[in-house]
Every structure is written in structure tokens, then in C-alpha cells.
């Protein structure tokens, strides 16, 4: 057994929601007469903290507050998130990992309340020992709650790996002192991980082969 505990990012890594995010952000940009973006452009611009991403996308916070923009996005996201699905093969992978005896948790920038609801909807909540999300929907970052999660897991750092789809996951893992595995099918393309110097996998099947 290579690892005893896997920490999963959620949005983009387990949940296939990139298309929905692009759709909503483009509607918001168009409503402000700002240029919209392609999927490829979105994946290049998106990052944490999301306030910086919004500014790169074209929002001007001298004209309106970040809180207003962030709330507008999350209202639309929550209205439509019922249509999102897990990444192809993710359910089976989570189940297979659990059956192999490896523990799993989630560390997400998603608001904890919505996170719990979705995990129950997809029938996967019971596969995770701990689920850590944020207390608000402004997606500031996961480092602090990550520290709390590691206290709960209480294993040597070499026994833990974080799997995520953004360079923020890489940064969080480095700060926490644990290994990272990146996936390039979510919110960031493979080239954005070049500076991280970690393994980058392109499919859920490749993750299965790496872990199991």
C-alpha cells in the first residue's frame, strides 16, 4: 500500500463542473459588456484566491465589490449545480480505494454545507472519513482548514497524498508537508503544473493505476 490516506480536492477533481463555471462566468461578463472566454482561456486564468481570478477575467472591483460578484456567481452555481455529475469513473475509484483499506477525506474550497449535500446526493459521503470545506463561498484558500484536517488524520506525512486539479492544491500540500498528485482534466491544464515538479495525470483511470 503506497499511501494510507488520500485527501481529495472536490470541484474539478471528483466533480465535473468546469463547463458550468465557464457558462456562468461568461454570462456575468456579458452582462457587464466585458469579453467572454473560451474553456481554454478559463483554465489558464482560473486560480485561488478567486478574487484575483475575477480581476484577471475582467471584473473591476472599483465599480462593484468582490463580495457582490462572488455572491452572484455562487447563486447561479447553486441554482444549476444539480445538473453536475462526478467525473467519469470517480464513483468506482472512490469505492475501490475504500475497499482496498485506504482511508479518504475531502479538502475543498466549497462551502461545507453544500459539499455535504452533494456528497450525500452522489452516494459517496460514507466513503470519506473527514470532509473539510470553507465557512463561506468566497473560496479564499484551503491551507488553514488543511492544517486542521491533518490533525484529525494523525498520520506521518509520507503516508498521505493530496489529489487535486489546481496549482493551489500543490501549494497547499507543500505548506502542509505532504505529497501531491495533480490531475489535468479539471480547472487547470497540465502546463500550469510545470513549476510544481509533481506527477500530472490526465484521467481518473490513470489515478486508479497510480493509487492502486
Domain boundaries, the chain: 5-15+85-211, 18-83
First to last CA, the chain: 8
CATH 3.40.50.1000 applies to domain 5-15+85-211: yes
Query: Tens digits of per-residue pLDDT, 40-59?
Result: 999 999 998 899 999 999 99
Mean pLDDT of 114-143: 88
Query: Tens digits of per-residue pLDDT, 181-203?
Result: 999 999 999 999 999 999 999 99
Other CB atoms within 10 A of residue 195 CB: 9
Q: Distance (Å, rounded) from C-alpha 8 to C-alpha 161?
A: 9
pLDDT tops 80 at residue 1: no
Query: Tens digits of per-residue pLDDT, 17-48?
Result: 999 999 999 999 999 999 999 999 999 999 98
pLDDT tops 90 at residue 207: yes
Mean pLDDT of 58-84: 95
> Partners of 16 in the beta sheet?
85
Closest among 177, 157, 168, 208 to 12, alpha carbons compared: 168
> Residue 91: what are its φ and ψ, rounded to 5°?
-60, -50
Grid coordinates of 164: 487535486
Closest among 6, 5, 16, 4 to 165, alpha carbons compared: 16
Amino acid at each position: 500500500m503506497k499511501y494510507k490516506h488520500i485527501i481529495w480536492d472536490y470541484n474539478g477533481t471528483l466533480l465535473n463542473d468546469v463547463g458550468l463555471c465557464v457558462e456562468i462566468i461568461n454570462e456575468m461578463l456579458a452582462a457587464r459588456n466585458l469579453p467572454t472566454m473560451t474553456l481554454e482561456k478559463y483554465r489558464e486564468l482560473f486560480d485561488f484566491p478567486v478574487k484575483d481570478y475575477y480581476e484577471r477575467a475582467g471584473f473591476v472591483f472599483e465599480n462593484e465589490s468582490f463580495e457582490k460578484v462572488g455572491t452572484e456567481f455562487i447563486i447561479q452555481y447553486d441554482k444549476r449545480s444539480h445538473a453536475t455529475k462526478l467525473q467519469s469513473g470517480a464513483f468506482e475509484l472512490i469505492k475501490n480505494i475504500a475497499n482496498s483499506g485506504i482511508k479518504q477525506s475531502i479538502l475543498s474550497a466549497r462551502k461545507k454545507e453544500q459539499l455535504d449535500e452533494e456528497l450525500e446526493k452522489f452516494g459517496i459521503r460514507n466513503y470519506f472519513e473527514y470532509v473539510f470545506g470553507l465557512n463561506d463561498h468566497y473560496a479564499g484558500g484551503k491551507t488553514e482548514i488543511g492544517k486542521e484536517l491533518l490533525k484529525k488524520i494523525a498520520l506521518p506525512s509520507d503516508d498521505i497524498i493530496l489529489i487535486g486539479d489546481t496549482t493551489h492544491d500543490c501549494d497547499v500540500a507543500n505548506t502542509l508537508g505532504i505529497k501531491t498528485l495533480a490531475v489535468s482534466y479539471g480547472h487547470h491544464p497540465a502546463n500550469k503544473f510545470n513549476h510544481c515538479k509533481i506527477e500530472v495525470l490526465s484521467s481518473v483511470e490513470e489515478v486508479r493505476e497510480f493509487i492502486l
